[in-house]
Amino acid sequence: MGLSSLIFRPAKEHGFCAFCRAERKYPSKKHLTVLDVFAAIVLSLVVGGAIWEMFDPRSFVLFTFAIGSGEVFIFLRWRHHMVCRYCGFDPVLYNVSPNRAREKVRQFYEDKIKSPNFILSKSPLLEVYRSQLERERVLRKIEYVKGRQQGGLVPREASKLNPTSSSSTPSL
Ligand SMILES: [Zn+2]
């Protein structure tokens, strides 16, 4: 990390989701920068000066509060945006536990697939949904054909090929 990145960072960074490859933006700031610390000093001095008097030691409490809450806010905002909104993939969680990250994507898919807004979105998971529908359609067709065969109805081609069939044996 260079000195310039400690002082100033661009608000957003562009990247791609490692799971669904969708293009996405996320906040580049994970922690407070030097500029934020400077802003917290100024803020605590101004607010402390307005309440008590300039350079009152109690301003230090305000400074600590501003630094603490700012750091928590910036980190939680970064953490929230790390999760892909198209597929629910969480790269931070994946580094800790790939199984939990996989389970989270599955849960995201099962939750979102019921929503009409998701069906109309451009999520790459819709390809998975379409192939799942196609697979279910083919399985239903196979079950239907099996059911007909087990129900005693022999397809026409099979009865022609079977020489023992009474219908195809010529009578003498
Ligand atoms: Zn994704």
The per-residue pLDDT for range 39-59, each reduced to its tens digit, is: 999 999 999 888 888 878 888
Specify the DSSP class assigned to residue 15. E
Is the per-residue pLDDT at 100 higher than 70?
Answer: yes
What is the rounded CA–CA span in Å between residue 90 and residue 119?
Answer: 21
Specify the DSSP class assigned to residue 164. T
Q: How far is the CA of 131 from the centre of ligand 1 (A)?
A: 18
Cα-to-chain-centroid distance, residue 52: 48
The pLDDT tens digits for 128-169 are 888 888 999 999 999 999 888 877 555 555 445 454 444 444
Flag the least confident range among 87-101, 107-121, 148-162: 148-162
Question: In whole numbers, what is the pLDDT of the chain averaged over residues?
Answer: 82
Q: How far is the CA of 157 from the centre of ligand 1 (A)?
A: 49
- What pTM, to 2 d.p., does this model score? 0.64
Q: How far is the CA of 10 from the centre of ligand 1 (A)?
A: 23
Q: What is the pLDDT of residue 155?
A: 53
Q: C-alpha angle with apex 50: 58 to 56, nearest 5 degrees? A: 25
Q: How far is the CA of 123 from the centre of ligand 1 (A)?
A: 8
Q: How far is the CA of 170 from the centre of ligand 1 (A)?
A: 67
Q: What is the pLDDT of residue 115?
A: 82
Q: What is the pLDDT of residue 81?
A: 93
Q: What is the pLDDT of residue 3?
A: 59
Q: How far is the CA of 119 from the centre of ligand 1 (A)?
A: 16
Q: What is the pLDDT of residue 8?
A: 62
Q: How far is the CA of 150 from the centre of ligand 1 (A)?
A: 45
Q: How far is the CA of 116 from the centre of ligand 1 (A)?
A: 19
Q: What is the pLDDT of residue 53?
A: 82
Q: How far is the CA of 114 from the centre of ligand 1 (A)?
A: 18
Question: CA distances (Å), 149 to each of 142, 145, 152, 156, in order?
Answer: 11, 6, 6, 11
80-95 average pLDDT score:
92
Q: How far is the CA of 15 from the centre of ligand 1 (A)?
A: 11
Is the per-residue pLDDT at 35 higher than 70?
Answer: yes
4-16 average pLDDT score:
73
* Residues linked to residue 14 through DSSP beta bridges, in sequence order: 25
Buried b (16+ CB within 10 A) or exposed e, 80-89: eebbbebbbb
Q: How far is the CA of 23 from the centre of ligand 1 (A)?
A: 8
What type of residue is 76? Answer: L
- Decide which of 132 and 77 is more confident: 77
Of 70, 72, 5, nearest to 40 by C-alpha is 70
Quick count: other Cβ atoms within 10 Å of Cβ 21?
12
Q: How far is the CA of 85 from the centre of ligand 1 (A)?
A: 7
